[in-house]
Amino acid sequence: MTKKLIIIEQREVQLYEDMVMAVRTNNGQIYVSIKHMCHALGLDDRSQRRRIQTHSILAEGYQRGDISTPPSEGGRGGGRQEATLLRVDLVPLWLAGIEAGKVAENMRAKLENFQRGAAAVLWEAFQEGRLTADPDFDTLLKRASADAVEAYQMALAVVKLARNQIMIEARLDDYGRRLEAIEATLSVSERFITREQASRISQAVRAIGHVLSERGGRSEYGAVYGELYRNFEISAYRELPAQKYDEAMKWLNAWYQRLTNQDIPF
Residue 106 CA to residue 26 CA, distance in Å, equals: 38
Q: What is the pLDDT at residue 78? A: 65
Q: What is the pLDDT at residue 87? A: 92
Angle 17-48-32 from CA coordinates, rounded to 5° = 50
Pick out the chain residues at pLDDT < 50. 1, 129, 131-133, 135
Q: Could you state, in order of their start, the residue ranges of all structural domains in the chain?
A: 7-72+80-135, 191-260
Give per-residue pLDDT as tens, 82-108: 999 999 889 989 988 888 777 888 888
Q: What is the pLDDT at residue 135? A: 47
Residue 250 CA to residue 210 CA, distance in Å, equals: 18
Phi then psi for residue 188, to 5 deg, are: -60, -40
Give per-residue pLDDT as tens, 127-148: 754 544 454 556 666 777 888 7
Residue 179 CA to residue 169 CA, distance in Å, equals: 15
Q: What is the pLDDT at residue 132? A: 47
Q: What is the pLDDT at residue 196? A: 92
Beta-bridge mates of residue 82: 66
CA nearest neighbour of 25 among 69, 79, 70, 86: 86
Angle 24-27-32 from CA coordinates, rounded to 5° = 30
Secondary structure string (H, E, C) spanning the chain? CCCCCCEEEEEEEEECCEEEEEEEECCCCEEEEHHHHHHHHCCCHHHHHHHHHCCCCHHHHEEEEEEEECCCCCCCCCEEEEEEEEEHHHHHHHHHCCCHHHCCHHHHHHHHHHHHHHHHHHHHCCHHHCCCCCCCHHHHHHHCCHHHHHHHHHHHHHHHHHHHHHHHHHHHHHHHHHHHHHHHHCCHHHHECCHHHHHHHHHHHHHHHHHHHHHHCCCCHHHHHHHHHHHHCCCCHHHCEHHHHHHHHHHHHHHHHHHHCCCCCC
Residue 228 CA to residue 179 CA, distance in Å, equals: 30
Beta-bridge mates of residue 112: none
Phi then psi for residue 86, to 5 deg, are: -125, 135
Distances (CA, A) of 87 to 58, 94, 98, 163, 190: 9, 10, 17, 20, 40
Q: What is the pLDDT at residue 206? A: 92
Q: What is the pLDDT at residue 185? A: 61
Residue 114 CA to residue 95 CA, distance in Å, equals: 8
Residue 260 CA to residue 225 CA, distance in Å, equals: 19
